Amino acid sequence: MEHTDLLVDWSRAQFALTALYHWLFVPLTLGLTFIVAIMETIYVKTGDPKWKTTTKYWMGLLAINFAIGLATGIIMEFEFGTNWSNYSWIVGDIFGAPLAIEGLMAFFMESTFFAVMFFGWEKVSKKMHLTSTWLVAIGSNLSALWILIANGWMQHPVGMHFNPDTARNEMQNFSEVIFNPNAVSKFLHTVSSGYVLASLFVLGISAWYMLKKRDIAFARRSAIVASSFGLIASLYLVTTGDQSAHDVALTQPMKLAAMEGLYDGEKRAGIIAFGVLNSAKTISNDLDPFIASVEIPGALSFLGYHNINAFVPGINDLMNGNNKRGIISIPEKMKLGKIAVASLGAYKNFKKAKDTEHAAEALKVFQAHQKYMGYGYLKKPEDAVPSIALSFYSFHTMVGLGSWFIILFIISLYYTMTHEMHNKRWLQYLALFTIPFGYVAQEAGWITAEAGRQPWAIQDLLPVGMATSNVATTSVMITFWLFAVLFTGLLIAEVKIMLTQIKSGPEGH
């Protein structure tokens, strides 16, 4: 089926729009549920009503965010059927299973106990209410688990086989899909980043109360929990990021090369601590990739392969091949992929004609080249290279901001524990104005993961150009703008409601 470039671009843009808006709400829910559970645990243990007031205040902000995040998430799942029906047909047997489990188990679990948590303060016992709060936190993170298992499979497809008779990928080993290393590291890294964002959110709002000299005791209690939880989550985020980078190096080397702007592979490859890309640099010329850069020698080899002397292939190695390193060029993969596509078509035609002998021969040829079938749909070798600028800058924005968050949590924890944060206006302003940067880091992380994977809907198996629905481009364009208006309206509504609740304070909440 032919898909125009315009249709593919608008379909990608619509899904990206939905995902980016959705991700403005999800990480706050993931982290705030645990922060609220910790606060309520302190209340139940101490019996101090001030901790109950603190818990209920943050629970109210959680409820607002939860409701709006739910709306964008439902729309995103529907888009798999409307804009990506070919994708759903080809890999629906595998991709649909984690999403179904998420809906049946995790989502219903968190939704059920959310009602008890939010409305059951005077209707159930303290311990039952606390249990409900923890189950909401666990349930929301289990939802993320199954969704990220599905996304991890897209990054590194395992546990399936291709059925040439139906032209579909079918589940073969569910445990391989669940315990896919890429999915595990993606889940741990993603949820821990949500804990960091929620901690920044609570810390920043607490700092606002200190700046206004309002509810200082409440603000200090909240800041202590946020700083300690945020620091632990930030340090854990570093370890999960290391594992995630290792998985990318093993399964998505082109993404790793794009993230670092590495054109020519090398041993003891360094990480660019700071760099400005040369916009005139392309695969076909010998210009320097950077206008200016500061490099940490050997760090990329260690990050990617846990060996400072490891060879890290660059974009040119992966594009043109490297016989010494056993790397097949993209043009060669495309050639083998076209043989796979042609032999699959021949197999189906021979089978339809009941020519079993030739069908068996065609199937044998297909199976020998099946590994590269996805490359057979690429139009030119350069299509296999993601946007280097987008991958590089989003990755380094994420890492740079993550480093700042660790420093902020250390400073804030020190001054809250010494009862001095309410006197440090400079720190209060830093905490408050870091909140939006937490969201920037979140979006940059997802852009790194998804833009760096292009042109693949399923890594090495299915290009995005073959995954779209056969719908009118105009329809996708119209719904894109409708969703843009809807999501922007939801975001504005959330911000306004949040600000109203924040200004009312914990006592007037």
285-301 confidence digits (pLDDT tens): 889 999 999 999 999 99
Asked if 430 and 391 count as a contact pair (C-beta separation under 8 A), the reply is no
Residue 127's alpha-carbon distances to 18, 40, 131, in angstroms, are 38, 10, 6
CA–CA dist 338, 375 (Å, integer) = 7
- pLDDT > 90: what percent of the chain? 75
Predicted confidence band of residue 3 (pLDDT cuts 50, 70, 90)? low
What is the pLDDT averaged over residues 193-198?
97
Written as six digits, the tokens of 468 are: 């779209």
* CA angle in degrees (0–180, nearest 5) for 440-62-438: 15
The whole-angstrom separation of Cα 300 and Cα 309 is 10
What is the rounded distance in angstroms from the CA atom of residue 317 to the CA atom of residue 308?
Answer: 19
Q: Which of 226, 192, 208 is nearest to 498 (CA)?
A: 208
* Residue 21 and residue 72 in contact, taking contact as beta carbons nearer than 8 Å: yes
Reported as a pLDDT band with limits 50, 70 and 90, residue 152 is very high
Kindly list the distances between the CA atom of residue 322 and the CA atoms of 26, 284, 325, in Å, as whole numbers in the listed order.
42, 16, 5
Question: What average pLDDT does the segment 470-487 reach?
Answer: 91
| Contacting residues for 187 by C-beta, under 8 A, at least 6 apart | 144, 145, 148, 149, 152
**Is residue 72 within 8 Å of residue 8, measured between CB atoms?**
no
d(CA 177, CA 197): 28
Residue 509: which pLDDT band, with cuts at 50, 70 and 90? low
Give the integer Cα–Cα distance in Å for 353 and 345. Answer: 12
HSE toward the beta carbon, residue 337, CA cutoff 13 A: 21
Domain ranges of the chain: 5-252+386-504, 253-385
pLDDT digits (tens, 9 = 90+) for 361-389: 999 999 999 999 999 999 999 999 999 99
H runs (alpha helix) in 47-125: 49-82, 85-101, 108-119
Task: Give SS3 for 294.
Answer: strand
Banded pLDDT at 508 (limits 50, 70, 90):
low
Reduced DSSP (H G I as helix, E B as strand, rest coil) percent helix, strand, coil of the chain, to 5: 75, 5, 20
In b/e form, how buried is each residue of 63-75, taking b as 16+ CB within 10 angstroms? bbbbebbeebbeb
Distance CA 34, CA 117 (A): 13
Find the mean pLDDT for residues 193-204.
97
Mean pLDDT lowest for which of 92-101, 144-153, 237-246, 356-365? 92-101
CA distance 411 to 417: 10
Q: What is the pLDDT of residue 237?
A: 95
